[in-house]
Structure 1
Amino acid sequence: MAEDYTLKVLRLLQENPHLSQREASDVLGLSLGKTNYVINALIEKGMIKIKNFKNNKNKSTYAYLLTPQGVEEKARLTMHFFEVKKLEYEELKGEVEKLAKEKAENSKHGPEFGFKV
């Protein structure tokens, strides 16, 4: 589960580095506290760095930039996520095929044993 949050935050910040933590939490559907926790953990691990813009009117505006280590971790997590989802897809596909066979067999016995889809 923590890997899911990490990947979501890394993807979001790579695409939108100027988001505030509140905006990021809204987009991700996470609490502000959870978003803050994940971002701080990524900073501590050296996966993202904060850049403050001195010439910005709003001095509290930051950009969250992925470090090379963060880009590498995002790629690793993306591949892992892809493999997990591919396995889930294959399992679901097998279950759908099994249900379709059962439906076909049940419909041979009349409507009282069949079911509508």
Structure 2
Amino acid sequence: MSDYLIQNRDPYFAAAQEDRSAPRTRITIPATLRFSGARGYQSVVHDLSLSGFCAAAVNRIHPGTVCWLTLPGLEALQAEVIWWDNSLVGCAFEQLLSPIVHDNILTRWRGEPVYRNL
């Protein structure tokens, strides 16, 4: 049986995938995505958190692959692929985004201020 089938039939694995280290915000941001050993291409970020993102990735990308995400106005952010499913890739940033940078991105692309509970 493939690892994919084992992971999808294991309820503990599924629950662990939803145990996120930071809340995700659904958003649409044009970006450039480049995987190790490949050329960058235009993509769209579909959700963003302090710890990672989900973006469009037409070709299958294997977990553990290193990638770089470039958002408009920012330097490339290094991340690691955690999962790929149906043309979407989920990645964890090598270093957490600064909450200030994260909130500025959301404010710019959602058009409304972001307020944090302290």
* TM superposition score normalised by structure 2: 0.26
Highest Rg: 1 or 2?
A: 1
TM-score for both structures, normalised by structure 1: 0.26
Q: Which has the higher strand share?
A: 2
